[in-house]
Structure formats: structure tokens, C-alpha cells
Amino acid sequence: MALWKVLPICVLTFPLSAVEIGGSDVDPGANLSHMVLLTYRQVHNSDKLIKGLYYGLSDQGEHAALAFHNACHLVLETLPFLVVLLDLSQVYVDADRDGITDMVSRFTGEIDPADFHIIMPDADSYCSAPSAEL
């Protein structure tokens, strides 16, 4: 099993109460489109890693959300696998990164994105070849 690097260092324990969603009540996920990206998207590591991107309601405001993306060979995936809405203490998991939330949870303590990464269907094979497509 390959090691993952997490950037920036952010320990936001795996939620105790997670609810799987599906059927007609599927939540499309946390909407970050109205927020301002406060972190650079560039990846400066040639291995695979998890990168956290902070979002705010304005470019001078406090952090409102944190989105965790996979990166492989200097390329950051477009869609995050984990979004944390800080003001609502809510976590949205999109394990297959298709833009539709697979699980919603609340958190009261810390969140380690690596705990959520293991539920991804391609977690073991992701970024295993030098020319892996994202």
C-alpha cells in the first residue's frame, strides 16, 4: 500500500455518525461555486498526495469550507473526494468523484482526510502507474 502525503497539514477523528444517501434524495454535494478559493491549486509534488483547498465567502474572509482533492504526478483532480463545510460542521464524501455526494456526516472533533480516502473504490490503484489518467 502506497503512502499518501497530505498538504496542507490539516487534522480537522472519523465522524461517528455517517449517513449513506441514495435514491431520490441524493444530495448533489456541497456547493463551492459561491465561495472564493483561498489556496493555490498548484501541486509541487510528483508523487500522489491529498491536497486541501480552503474556500471563503470573500477573499479577505475567514475559511468557510475545505475541499480535499487527490493529486497524482503534479496534477490535481478537478473534483474533491471530501468537502468540509466548517460553519455547518458537515462533511460531504464523494468517494468515486463523480460530483454526487455518497455520504453526509457531521463532525464535532477532528477530521483526517486519509480516513475517508480508504473508502474510494480506486484507493489502492490510484496513481500506481506513471502515466495514470485523472
> In the structure grid, which three cell numbers stand for residue 55, read together?
474556500
Tens-place pLDDT, residues 74-109:
999 999 999 999 989 999 999 998 888 999 988 888
Instruction: Look at residue 12 in the predicted model and tell me its pLDDT.
Output: 34
3-class SS of residue 24: helix
Which of 54 and 15 is assigned the larger pLDDT?
Answer: 54
Tens-place pLDDT, residues 61-76:
899 999 999 999 899 9
